[in-house]
């Protein structure tokens, strides 16, 4: 019973409204509108994603949101996914709004002649996709019709498959650990409707299983739940209430490179077919945000909080000094607001706590006279009086330890 009550208190739709993170509109059902506070969290997540991927040797790409119908026929999405897609017609030509990013990555790979020396090629994309979901299934940011996949598509030689999947698993572990998430792993095998031969599927499933076993990862088999083009490893993260959320996925694909006639020149000067690894870690930025809201109950760590510091001047005579402090904190990259309202200090502090702001700075006569700050931390209370420099150093150190 406690968990159910706690889950209701943490509901991301409720907190999303209270903390002004996102909203829904009748004009675009299932397609969330992100408010300024929500965009701060979203941008911080994407900044972390870019930092980790650049370090891991990925190149970021961006592909069109709408491409011609024949592309989706070629990829197999038309036959396997048509009922979940949106369509348009331009200049008497049929187009589809992309439900997945992989065909665009394939086109970029094929845009120039490739050599074996270039492989592995790791393309990463924060790609906006649209999928038709039934209106009754829509749920805040957890189930939407438009969302951003943190996709990556790796083009590798056959001899690189296992080493690249090993690196992908390490990157996923690194990012989930950053948020303090434990996770479970499933190996999803060939579905009833699939592309390609059983022999290729057996080879792909064996490769994924081999990496999991060599890496010592505990996993369960999820029979028949693979993508139509290849088997996959799925990651289910566990939040602070012990609930499981399917987020990351790693898919091994021999089919798409063949369908798109992808090739590279080997060291024997002959044309060879690469293997494609599809991979997402957040799964979708929107869904991952919803999970974080509920995991932290809206009480985000300092680096992720939309407003990191609320400055509370006791009276109008302290407003100018409060503005000066705000400028100094913002100059080092902190996100700061000042509560200039003519309300009692106790009310301002309670409202800042309700808004789940990590730090508050109270400014009165003594602080203004000594050019100092009275620092309070959410749930810990008063931390004492310190200089502006000491305060700035403390907050930046805390952020740096987190990112």
Which residues are designated catalytic?
102, 131, 149, 151, 153, 232, 278
CA distance 38 to 300: 12
Length of the chain: 403
CA distance 112 to 249: 28
Structure tokens at 258: 């063949």
Phi-psi region of 244 (alpha: psi -120 to 50; beta: other; left: phi over 0): beta
CA distance 278 to 315: 57
CA distance 248 to 206: 20
Beta strands, E only, 244-377: 244-253, 264-265, 271-272, 275-280, 309-313, 336-338, 359-363, 372-377
**Burial grade of 198 (CB within 10 A; 0-12, 13-18, 19 or more):** exposed
CA distance 126 to 143: 18
Q: Any alpha helices (H) in 125-226, and if so which ranges?
A: 161-178, 198-214
């Amino acid at each position: 019973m406690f968990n159910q009550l706690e889950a209701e208190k943490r509901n991301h739709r409720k907190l999303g409204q209270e903390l002004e993170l996102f909203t829904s509109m009748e004009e675009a059902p299932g397609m969330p509108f992100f408010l300024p506070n929500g965009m701060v969290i979203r941008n911080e997540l994407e900044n972390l994603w870019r930092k980790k991927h650049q370090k891991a040797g990925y190149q970021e790409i961006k592909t069109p949101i709408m491409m011609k119908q024949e592309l989706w026929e070629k990829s197999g999405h038309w036959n396997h996914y048509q009922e979940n897609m949106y369509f348009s017609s331009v200049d008497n030509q049929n187009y589809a709004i992309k439900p997945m990013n992989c065909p665009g990555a394939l086109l970029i790979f094929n845009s120039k002649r490739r050599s074996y020396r270039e492989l592995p090629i790791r393309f990463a994309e924060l790609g906006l996709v649209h999928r038709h979901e039934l209106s009754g299934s829509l749920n805040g940011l957890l189930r939407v019709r438009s969302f951003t996949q943190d996709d990556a598509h790796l083009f590798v030689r056959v001899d690189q498959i296992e080493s690249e999947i090993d690196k992908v698993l390490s990157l996923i572990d690194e990012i989930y650990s950053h948020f303090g998430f434990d996770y479970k792993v499933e190996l999803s095998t060939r579905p009833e409707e699939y592309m390609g031969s059983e022999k290729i599927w057996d080879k792909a499933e064996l490769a994924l299983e081999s990496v999991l076993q060599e890496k010592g990862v505990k996993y369960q088999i999820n029979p028949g739940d693979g993508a139509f083009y290849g088997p996959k490893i799925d990651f289910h993260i566990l939040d602070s209430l012990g609930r499981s959320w399917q987020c990351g996925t790693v898919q091994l694909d021999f089919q798409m490179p063949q369908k798109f006639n992808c090739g590279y020149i080997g060291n024997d000067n002959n044309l060879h077919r690469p293997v494609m690894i599809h991979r997402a870690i957040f799964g979708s930025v929107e869904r991952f945000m919803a999970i974080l809201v509920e995991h932290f109950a809206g009480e985000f760590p300092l680096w992720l909080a939309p407003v990191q510091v609320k400055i509370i001047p006791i009276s109008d005579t302290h407003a100018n000094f409060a503005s000066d402090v705000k400028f100094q904190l913002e100059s080092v990259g902190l996100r700061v607001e000042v509560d200039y309202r003519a309300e009692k200090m106790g009310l301002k502090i309670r409202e800042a706590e309700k808004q789940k702001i990590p730090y508050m700075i109270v400014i009165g006569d003594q602080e203004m006279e000594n050019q100092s700050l009275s620092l309070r931390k959410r749930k810990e209370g008063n931390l004492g009086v310190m200089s502006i420099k000491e305060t700035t150093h403390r907050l930046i150190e805390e952020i740096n330890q987190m990112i």
